[in-house]
Amino acid sequence: MFAVNLKERPVLVKFYSGLTKNSSWNETAPDRIIRDIVVTSQVSHLKNVLQLIGCCLEFAYPAMVYYYAPESEFLTNRLSHLNNDGKLLSWKNRLTIATGIANVLLYLHSAFSAPIIFGNLTINKVRIDQCGVAKLFDFGLSISLPPGKSEVENQLKWIHVPSGPQGFKSNIVTLKSDVYSFGVLMLMLFTGETDAIKYDEEMGGRIYILDYVKRHILNNQFNQIVDQNMFKQQGNYNDPEVEQQLLDFLDLALRCTEHDRADRPDMIEVAKLLRQMEKSVRYS
């Protein structure tokens, strides 16, 4: 994805660069592109969705064209780098980002007669504009639930997407698959990690972020997993009120990533709790 000028208007262009005649995605490529166009068009009016301007299927690689806000960037960059004002993402910023993405997932799950599973929620699918507003994009792997059904077989072969243990084993996905993926995103906002799998020096190997967080909690090492960069500007980490907010956020993330789908909350509950948390934060 890169920024260009289209008739003197700044836009973002995303090419489906892996979808060619010789690609292993060839069989599902048309479905993925069409699904991305259709679903994105249905939700582009939402504040937290990257606004679709158009598409072009005549190039060697199909392209999606989005509205571009100057100074916007990927969430992965904002977690690890200062913005133009020399600021990192604060605790308030991260709560706002989580709340915004939760609202989009809730809309997909509840606004249509056939609920839509986003399907490929990862940190790389989120951009942050100059006002700190999260923008979700790439609905190409989303899938609608059949009428009267609560689960569906994933035939688009989601790859490297944290959708929950059952999804990996059976290819059967539900709305709770999105909840799991969202919980992983919450953990990344909490820890400041930009990859769901990280290198653990203590173990001398790679570890999944959920296992990394749980291990530190069991060892009573809460302070070691909180991204201290959230508080470099405010310096209010030791505030009991802030500490309770962090604990509530972490508890919700862990509930979202429960092994059994039935133990995960619905997105309506997740979005409601995050909105409550966001309103309670006094520091920006």
Q: Which pLDDT belongs to residue 135? A: 96
User: Which has more confidence, 112 or 33?
Assistant: 112
The model's confidence at residue 28, banded by pLDDT at 50, 70 and 90, is: low
DSSP conformation letters of 211-232: HHHHHHHHTT-GGGTS-GGGGT
> How many whole angstroms separate alpha carbon 250 and alpha carbon 205?
24
3-state helix, strand, coil in the chain (%, to 5): 40, 15, 40
Whole-number pLDDT of residue 2: 80
Question: Hey, what are 265's tokens?
Answer: 């909350």
The answer to whether 179 and 270 have CB atoms below 8 angstroms apart is yes
Question: What is the pLDDT of the chain when averaged over all its residues?
Answer: 85
Q: Mean of the pLDDT values across residues 127-132?
A: 91
Of 132 and 27, which is predicted with more confidence?
A: 132
Task: Name the band, by pLDDT with cuts 50, 70 and 90, for residue 6.
Answer: confident
* DSSP 8-state code for residue 49: B
Per-residue pLDDT, 245: 93
Q: Say whether pLDDT at 121 is over 50.
A: yes
Domains contained in the chain, CATH given:
71-280 (1.10.510.10)
- DSSP 3-state of 190: helix
Q: At 264, is the pLDDT very low, low, confident or very high (cuts 50, 70, 90)?
A: very high
Per-residue confidence band for 204, with pLDDT thresholds at 50, 70 and 90: confident
Percent of the chain with pLDDT over 70: 84
pLDDT band for 1, please (50, 70, 90 cuts): confident
Residue 160's pLDDT is what?
46
Q: Which two tokens stand for residue 101?
A: 């993405």
Mean pLDDT confidence for 182-203: 90
Count CA atoms within 13 Å of residue 122 on its CB side.
15
